[in-house]
Structure 1
Amino acid sequence: MKKTTQLFLLLLALQLVLAGCSSTKSREDQGIVARAWHNMNAHFNGYFNAREIMDESLVVLDEQHTDNYNQRLEMFPFLAVDNPSVVAEELDRAIEKVAIVVKKHPYSNWTDDSYLLVGQAQLLKQDYEGAERTLNFTVNEFRPRPERKKGKKGKADETEEEFESRREIATSQTQSRRDRLKARRDAQRERERTIKQRQKEAKAAQKERDRERKAKIRARKKGIRLPTKTTVDTARIEGLDNEPEEIADAVDPEMEEGPVGMISIFSNRNEADAAGGEYGKKSGSYLLKHRPAYQESRLWLAWTLVKRDNFDRAQIILEDLRNDRGTYADVRRKAIAVQAYLYLEQERLEEAIPYLEAAADVAVERNEKARYYYIAGQLYQELNQPGSALDAFREVVASKPAYEFELGARISMAQNAYLSGSGSSADALSELERMVREEKNRDYESQILYSMASIALRDGDQPAGAEYLRRALDSPSGGGATRVEAYQLLGDLAYEEGDYLGSKLYYDSTLQVMGPADSRFVETTDRRDRLTGVAGSLQEITLKDSLLRIGTLPEAERRSWAEEVFELRRATNSAANFSTPATQGSLPVANAATAATSMSGSSFWGYDNQAIRRGGRDFSRRWGDRALEDNWRRSNRTDASLFTAEGDNLAPGDPSRRDVQLATEDEINAILEGIPLDEPSQTTTRADLARAYFTLGREYRDRLENNPRAIEAFTQLNARYPGSEHEAESWYYLYLLHKQAGNGSEAQRYAGELNRKYQGSKFARLANDPNYAAELVGEEGRRTRAYEAAYAAFERQDYQRTEQLIAAALPGLPDSHPLRARYELLRAMASGKLQGRAAYVTALQQVVAQHEGTPEQIRAREILRLLGEGGARLPGRVPTAGASSFKESMDEIHYVLVVFDNPSAPLNQLKVELEEYNQKYNKLDRLRSTPIFIGRDNETPVLVMRRFKTGREAQDYYEISRKNAAEFLADSEEVYRIFPVSQTNYREILKARSFEGYEEWFLSHYQ
């Protein structure tokens, strides 16, 4: 062996001396030893290390993703992570390594594999556009060339390698035409050979059938019955016909378990897969030679096209890979899985199921097999086919996967057995309850309880379902996924039952644990926002009603109540169970969702009701039911209670007797603080309650469209607080609601009441004069046109004319008219343009103070926040870039600006820190930052990052920097703002020497 190694090294040295072995030589100029040298270094240096980095990155992504068994599983979890930038640095390293392989060894056998790895890395980074470009290049550059024969008199010699770079093909048109003609002839000959082969196989099959028929006849004459021969149908779905024999043998009964999160579509080729056949042929082996990456590149290109929503082109590639007889076994297996993924992305569930089952049949790992069957079972559930779902989940269990897969399948089996009619809901709940009690399922308790809630709710038992959900939330094993589902479902249940306050609180908790990437996030946020007004009014009514009730109590009863509250606080040693000092004892204790929401901003254990309940249960399991007392664990206790029974009276002189400690006057007054004790404060509280009832009725009608609840709220308002300032408008609302409900008599009654008590008012005329509504609409149209004229003048930068139009329009507007807030905000902006920062801030503060709860107030607060944090210069003395100066041009070259608030910020140090961040997360983009100062006095330090080809790339950088805020310029502790800017808008900023207006424009155009 030693002599062989020395001989090889001697030959290698001789080849290097004689041939030079330069990496710039063409393939034909390299000898056998040189090729071996290039292949060895390309494979075991760059490519091998890059593949190891890729595997490590997959592990990191695996740890980021957690399967939610209450929803449809992801086929490929490594593509479902929210923040793929955590592996961006490592993947960039892998790309660098294979780039060196391509540069130093361009004609090695591993060049096509290197390009394929680049495309895979870009796909993992979710850079789908870059992955498509890379894989398109790989497929076109390394397409297999037609087989050419060498030798004399047509004698076939050894064929060339499987592929060559198209850069080595002659560009002569004549030669290209010859190659195309030869390729067509070769293809025709291949088709003819295929037809002949099929005819030959058909004749052989016919002969076999004739032989079997004759054998049966002979056996029948002798009285012998031959066993029936069974055949296996290998063409259940399109694409599995002509399957190579190797696939049938690929599934080993003792297959490896494999990873749970990352399935084996990234696995390297093994020896069994290598025998899958040379491209264009039915058989062949790559056990001893390198296999081209062309087919795999096409597979990954199809996968990328699916992510780019180019389904038609992806379908063409996948059909070709599945139907071609020369497709390698592992590529065909993966193509079946990607075909199912394509249908899932299009929500074509019925078409996806057969491919999922076929992919499971040919899977090489148990967890991969289980994942495919599990998803198929979930699809059957969505299609309301519980019997088929039950069969699919049985296949999951039969594949012997990881326990979490098996447990999820057994839970689903219990559900679907009940739904398919083979069992009852009681049987399913009993089976799941048994699973809850098993020690091995302690870590999955919340998942099982959630499934029990689903069964109870499907059976129509909503109280039991809600209780199971609360148990799932209280469980120590409650993970983020289960908490999201449980809170969401509890919110939906409360909403359907009309418990809008509880529903809003549950939705608050849902959004705290639900990620923005969840498809339900926007819908849940919208429903929570629509419930906010109702919930706020209900809470205000409960609070103010309790305060008023306590305030009207006699002084002795009120003081006794305060002492009881004080004792209760001291007994529990926590004031966290009470929302305000005035409401102790008057309101019910908040439920788990309320407590979790109100105390979510604190990390103190006493504010976590779930942790307290878990601790209580653990204590009871170990120590039993013990009285609440100090030092109960002491073995040598000396207190009197050790020898007395509960209820025994102690002697008056007994030193262990304790008199009740009463609260001091200061403590009593602190508890009674805020309670309306005198008549003026009680009158104000009643007015607040009337306003809350009116707002509640309006929210019911306008936001929730719950007319019966709105009628109830307005009726309670008029019954409890007759003659309030909201009486006329509430009567008009009741007139509209009863009219809409078809209750004409009640509607006319309220119209008559309005005409009697509020004759001539707007509401009385609206209810009794049909023509007044048309006049009012015309008046509203005139007011709207007046506002549009003022706004148009502002956009023309005619700020004085804007103020004149506003001054003319405001006196004619009612105080509660919604246009008034718009006018005030517009006047604030115009005054800022004319008078500068101080006037701008003052006017904005007036908008915030005078227009509570309006969109204009929110907008004014946002502008004030930007002014307070950013220190942006206002117009007036210095030319500025107004919002109308900025143009939207996402296809233009973009920069990213990092603007610092501190005028003395160390830009050079910050530049180094920023480039270190870019080296980690954006190494291949080769970003460069330039320090500049902007402003009239150069008071604003800025780092300008150049450059991005489009606005989309700049916005991607912006979003990733926000996700990685803990690392982006974190060491400097400088306050900064970051936003993309197009080249044209950057020139406008430089021209104006100010960022004024751009931040607002950016927030409205880039978000």
Structure 2
Amino acid sequence: MKRFSGLAVVLFIFIGACSSERNTFTNRAFHNLTAHFNAYYLADVKIKDVENQVFKNYKEDFTQVLPVFIPIDSATIQQNKEKLDSARELSSKAIDWHRISKWVDDSYYLLGKIDYLQAQQDDALNAFKYVNSNSKDKALRHQALISLLRLYIDRLEYENANFTIDYLSKETEISDENRFELFKTLAYYYESRADQNGVIGALDRAVAFAPDKKEESRINFILAQRYQREGLDALAYDYYRKALDGNPPYERSFFATLYAQQVAELNASKDLRKVRNYYDGLYKDPKNKDLKDVVIYERALFEEKQGDIPLTIDLLHQAAKEPGSNPRLKGYIYQKLAEINLQEFKDFRATKYYLDSALTYIRETDPVAIAIREQKTKLDQYVFHVERIQLNDSLTIIAGLSPEEQEAIAQNFIQAEAERLIAEARAQEVPKNSNIFNNLLAFSGKDPGASFYFDNGVAIQQGALEFGRVWGNRPLQDNWRRRSAIFQTTTQPEQNVGSGDSLASVENPILAGLPTLEGLLSNTPNTPEQLSKLNSELEESYFELGKLLYFDFKEIEPSIDNLETLIRTYPNTIRKPEAYYLLYLAQRDSNGNFEQYVGRLNREFPESQYTFSVNNPDAASGNLAALESSKGYEQAYNAYYSGQYQQARQVVKTTLGEYPLTRNTEKLLLLDIMVTGKLESRERFKGRLESYIENTKDEALVKLARNMLKPLLSSEELAALTPVDSVATDSTQLASNKEAENQGKKVPAESPYKLNESQTHIFVITLSRSESEAAKNLLGDLENFHANNFPNARLRTGNMNLNPENAIYIISPFSNAEKAKEYYLKFSEDFKSEGFPESSQTNSFFISIENFQTLNKTKNTEEYLDFFRTIYQ
């Protein structure tokens, strides 16, 4: 009974201590113990585990200055959602169930950390502010303020960040742990503001409070990188050596050793053979098998400093082919190749394609990728027009040949393509192993060099190609079958020996993508409409290329060449006045004969705005000129409608003389023509309207001018105008119809997507993880589908993860929505692939580049499908 009574007393005390309503010593002790070692401890462990996962999953890019903080990867956070949800639940229980414990504020801080990791910034902000305002624990308040400071920097709220920094600078008794986080966060602040000295100063203070050797090693490496870029090689060397302490990861050790050697000796050494031997040694070291691309890349940068550009390019190409552990480095290699081709050779085309390759390796959110995309905008336009000129020029020449000559060119092209594909396949073969054991195995099909003919796929394909070229597509039969075939009454159809079709018909995976003879000949323009379209595109491209080269690339001579080709080849082009004006500017800049274009403009286009400009070279321009010309137009307009035609003409002439090229110029010119209709002859009025319609780009003004012109035309002229000028006269109507059609397409309410049919589009196939695994041959079947149905479209296929549940396959590029829709319809009708579900075929869609960026952020395909079905189906 005594024992039972004692147990009952203990149980009664325990039950009483569980209450969070009574604030006694026993209750507080119980709740402090359980809140700390149950809820808070477990939640903290889970959060730290997720933070460690973020750190482990992040691939450090040692070729660039390391960031102060490891970026938080949303994919890793999403993968650990259950763990963070569990930590949130435990922290909430510590607050709700143990309200009188001293771990409540700490649990609120953990909730803020969880919100921060899950990018719920407003909730994190409130949690950190609450802890700072309510906690009596000074260290915890400092911790919350430092986290608040980092959040302000993330949000670029520098005024709030400055206030927080000022407040913390006046605080005392800051623990060493918090001092480390504070100085590190200060370094992050200066990093976001591109203040190099500030970052170095803050990290120099932080390293003294580093909690362990690994963290200290990483900070020392960042300091070394920054000192090296500031040209302080001696300091950089010291910090690279310090970065080797603390047993850092091998890759960081490798880069610290490499860069230390560079700043200490390689950059200053005059013994080039010694430096090159050093790089050769690194390359051959088996420990560096995953870093060979780095070694070659660094060697290329060294050779560039020596001025050996050809060797630099060769090394960069080699580096791009070497295996490596950091995909982003390939992007930097291609970016360097683009830079060299631009600066050394002015090869804009190669620059564009190298930058395209760079973007496939660099994340789209990376500042480097953003800068590349901006640089590429004009390069894309340049390459588009250059390649269109090359293609259309070739097609125009081929169109002038006889059918026999066209067929011969097509066959030669197919043959050359086949030989190129065979040569590429041979180049990729593993070199023959001379090992005597492997030679003995050659006849068993196990030789990696495939020395036996029937083990060598390329040899077989080359033989099949040669057989097809000489004998055609013969059936496989032995001698006795050929002899018996003599007595058969039926005969085989004669083969077209050496034709492109026979080459393509050889069953051969390497040659599967070869175009057919019929396909090539069908693309040859033969009708007047096709030739007219080619010449229209050529005319546009010569003009646009001339403008790009002059204004954007500052390449005057090539600009002059393209514009003069335009005028020489298309003397009646409507772009002639502007081309004359651009040639005037280019010749003036190059001290050429610019006066000839002043004369031509005055003779051929006396009423053009460009003529006014060359006659008044010192006229004002810019926003102020546009504003003043608007006032002049308003004054002339009022004078015209009040019947003061001479005054209206005088105001127009004065305004055009002072401000010849503004957004009001074409309106002023049309108003001057309207004055002509009141003061001069009918023929003069008609002639000026016709000239205005040919040379004006504003469709609304052209339509207005056409309406003025129609009453001046005779019935015969109207009848003659309709068939000849139907495309030109109805262009405004077509444009307005297209605009009306687009306006009829209503974007779903609150949709984040925009309608832009002229923008580049891509085609997207969405699959779940299981569907993606089942459709094993999808990429290969897509390539075959493109080769058979879109052989000249240069479509590219790739795949990526949209989110943890779905993978997407992307086909690109399509120049506009119309082209993408053609592909969509053909794909929906004809595409088949083993394991590819029909539901995914139905849910495939095309999307503009701008809208795809939005989709990539929201990850909500159903939301875009609503938009797609409303607009495009």
Give the TM-score of the pair, scaled to structure 1.
0.54
Once residues 480 and 824 of structure 1 are traced to their aligned partners in structure 2, the CA distance between those partners, rounded to angstroms, is: 54
Equivalent residue for 1:106, pick from 92, 99, 102: 99
Give the distance between the partners of 2:307 and 2:346, measured in 1 at CA: 17
Q: How far apart are 1:663 and its partner, in Å?
A: 0.7
Higher RCO (C-alpha under 8 Å, 6+ residues apart): 1
Query: Which of residues 407, 421, 426 is equivalent to 2:268?
Result: 421
Contact 1:415 1:428 in 2 (8 A): no
SS of the residue corresponding to residue 498 of structure 2 reads coil
From 518, 531, 535, the equivalent of 2:379 is 531
**Amino acid of the residue matched to residue 312 of structure 1?**
N
Q: Structure 1 residue 679: deviation in Å?
A: 9.5
**Residue pairs, 1:745-764, within 5 angstroms:** 746-755=593-602
Specify the SS of the correspondent of 2:698.
Answer: helix
Match of 1:130 in 2: 123
Aligned mate of 1:774, from 644, 657, 660? 657
CA offsets, 1:296-326, max 9 Å, x none?
33443444444443332332355356xx4x4
**1:51 counterpart (44, 57, 72):** 44
For residues 482-517 of structure 1, the C-alpha deviation after alignment (integer angstroms, 9 at most, x for no partner) is: 133223333333333321122222333333443342
The equivalent residue for 2:191 is 344
Residue 178 of structure 2 corresponds to which residue in structure 1? 331
Contact 2:500-2:517 within 8 A present in 1 as well: yes
For 2:45, give the aligned amino acid.
Answer: E
**Equivalence for 2:35:** 42
> Within 1, Cα distance between the matches of 2:309 and 2:739?
42
Which of residues 410, 420, 437 is equivalent to 2:284? 437
Q: Any residues of structure 2 matched to 1:806-821 within 5 Å, and which?
A: 814=693, 817-820=696-699
Shift of 1:77: 0.7
Residues 822-833 of structure 1 correspond to what in structure 2 (within 5 A)?
none
Q: Distance in 1 between matches of 2:398 and 2:855?
A: 50
Residue of structure 1 in register with 2:245 after alignment: 398
The residue aligned with 2:166 is 316
Unaligned stretches of 5+ in structure 1? 145-278, 280-291, 578-608, 642-653, 788-809, 826-845, 874-919, 921-957, 979-995, 1000-1007
**What's the counterpart of residue 546 of structure 2?**
697
Question: In the alignment, what sits opposite 1:23?
Answer: 20
> How far apart are the structure 2 equivalents of 1:406 and 1:819?
63
8 A contact 1:472–1:478 mirrored in 2: no
Shift of 1:700: 1.5
RMSD: 5.1
Q: Deviations over 1:507-543 (max 9, x none)?
A: 3333344334222444322322222221111101222
Compute the displacement of 1:481 (Å): 1.5
Q: Give per-residue Cα distances to partners, 1:62-102, cap 9 Å, x unaligned.
A: 35532222222122214476885555554343222111111
Aligned partners of 2:253 and 2:412: how far apart in 1? 54
Instruction: Give the C-alpha shift of residue 760 in structure 1.
Output: 6.7
Residues 352-367 of structure 1 aligned to structure 2 (within 5 Å): 352-367=199-214
Are residues 12 and 407 of structure 1, via their aligned partners in 2, closer, same or farther at CA, if it must alter by over 3 Å? farther
Pairs within 5 Å for 1:739-750: 739-743=588-592, 746-750=593-597
Return 337-346 or 376-385, whichever deviates more: 337-346
* AA matched with 2:22: K
Deviations 1:823-861 (A, max 9, x none): 999xxxxxxxxxxxxxxxxxxxx99x958999x999989
Match of 2:498 in 1: 662
CA distance in 1, matches of 2:867, 2:121: 28
Report the secondary structure of 1:976's partner residue: helix
Residue 566, structure 1, aligned to residue 566, structure 2: no
Asked whether the 8 Å contact 2:607–2:669 carries over to 1, the reply is no
Structure 2 distance, partners of 1:347, 1:640, is 62
How many pairs were matched up? 637
Partners of 2:330 and 2:275 lie apart in 1 by: 22
When normalised by structure 2's length, the TM-score is: 0.61
User: Aligned-pair distance for 1:121?
Assistant: 1.9
**Matching residue of 1:517:** 365
1:455 maps to 2:338: no
Query: Identity over the aligned pairs, expressed in percent?
Result: 20
Aligned to 1:731: 580
Distance (whole Å) between structure 1 residues aligned to residue 535 and residue 294 of structure 2: 48
Residues 855 and 861 of structure 2 are in contact (CA less than 8 Å); yes or no, is this contact kept in structure 1?
Answer: no
Q: Deviations over 1:785-808 (max 9, x none)?
A: 999xxxxxxxxxxxxxxxxxxxxx
Distance 2:454 2:575 in 1: 60
Aligned twin of 2:234: 387
SS in 1 for 2:454: coil
Q: Give, in whole Å, the separation in 2 of the partners of 1:852 and 1:490.
A: 48
Cα shift at 1:104: 1.1
1:709 and 2:558 aligned: yes
Contact 2:392 2:534 in 1 (8 A): yes
Checking the alignment, whether the CA contact within 8 Å between 2:382 and 2:548 is kept in structure 1 is yes
Following superposition, the deviation at residue 143 of structure 1 comes to 2.2
- Give the superposition deviation at 1:361: 4.5
- Deviation, 1:549, is 4.4
Per the alignment, residue 488 of structure 1 pairs with 335
CA distance in 1, matches of 2:279, 2:48: 38
Distance, in Å, in 2 between the alignment partners of 1:423 and 1:400 is 33
Judging changes above 3 Å, is the alpha-carbon distance between structure 1 residues 811 and 664 closer, same or farther for their aligned structure 2 residues? closer
- d(CA) in 2 for partners of 1:493, 1:852: 48
How far 1:566 moved relative to its partner? 3.0
* Aligned 8 A contact 1:700 1:706 in 2: yes
Per-residue CA deviations over 1:320-363 (Å, capped at 9, x if unaligned) read: 56xx4x44333333333333333333333223324424433443
Matches within 5 A, 1:859-870: 867=746, 870=748
Q: Deviations over 1:9-60 (max 9, x none)?
A: 877424236x46411122xx232xx333222321232112212321232244
Q: C-alpha separation between the residues in 1 aligned to 2:241 and 2:703?
A: 67
Q: Which residue is equivalent to 2:66?
A: 73
Contact 1:387 1:417 in 2 (8 A): yes
Letter in 2 for 1:373: N
CA distance in 2: counterparts of 1:9 and 1:376, whole angstroms: 64
Give the whole-Å Cα distance in 2 for the aligned partners of 1:683 and 1:727: 18
Contact map agreement 1:135 1:298 (CA 8 A) in 2: yes
Q: How far apart, in 2, do the equivalents of 1:413 and 1:101 lie? A: 50
Name the CA distance, whole Å, in 2 between partners of 1:67 and 1:853.
55
Q: In structure 2, how many angstroms separate the alpha carbons of the residues matched to 1:960 and 1:676?
A: 38
Instruction: Quote how far apart the aligned CAs of 1:426 are.
Output: 5.7
* 1:54–1:94 Cα contact (<8 Å) kept: yes
Amino acid at match of 2:231: N
2: CA distance between counterparts of 1:6 and 1:432?
Answer: 82
Is 2:294–2:319's contact at 8 Å kept on the other side of the alignment? yes
- Give the number of the structure whose alpha-carbon radius of gyration is greater: 1
Could you tell me which of 654, 668, 674 is aligned with 2:523? 674
Q: In 2, are the aligned partners of 1:302 and 1:313 still within 8 Å (CA)? A: no
Quote the Cα distance in structure 1 between the aligned partners of 2:701 and 2:402. 48
Instruction: Report the equivalent of 1:888.
Output: none
**Any gaps of 5 or more consecutive residues in structure 2?**
439-446, 465-477, 480-494, 503-515, 618-652, 671-688, 705-726, 752-804, 806-850
Residue of structure 2 equivalent to 1:237: none
* Residue type at the aligned position of 1:24: E
Q: Does 1:370 align with 2:217?
A: yes
CA distance in 2, matches of 1:532, 1:852: 31
Alpha-carbon deviation of 1:394?
1.9
Between 437-446 and 304-313, report the one with greater CA deviation.
304-313
Distance in 1 (CA, whole Å) between partners of 2:141 and 2:310 is 59
More helix by percentage? 2
Inter-CA distance 138–707: structure 2 relative to 1 (3 Å threshold)? same
* Contact 1:305–1:313 (CA under 8 A) maintained in structure 2: no
Deviation, structure 1 residue 815: 5.2
CA deviations 1:394-447 (Å, max 9, x no partner) are: 221234300111122233234433576256666445423432333322222233
Q: Contact (CA 8 Å) 2:549, 2:558: kept in 1 or not?
A: yes
Q: CA deviation at 1:748?
A: 1.1
Distance 1:362 1:686, change over 3 A: same
Give yes or no for contact 2:410–2:521 (8 Å, CA) kept in 1.
yes
Q: 1:677 to 1:784 in 2, by over 3 A?
A: closer
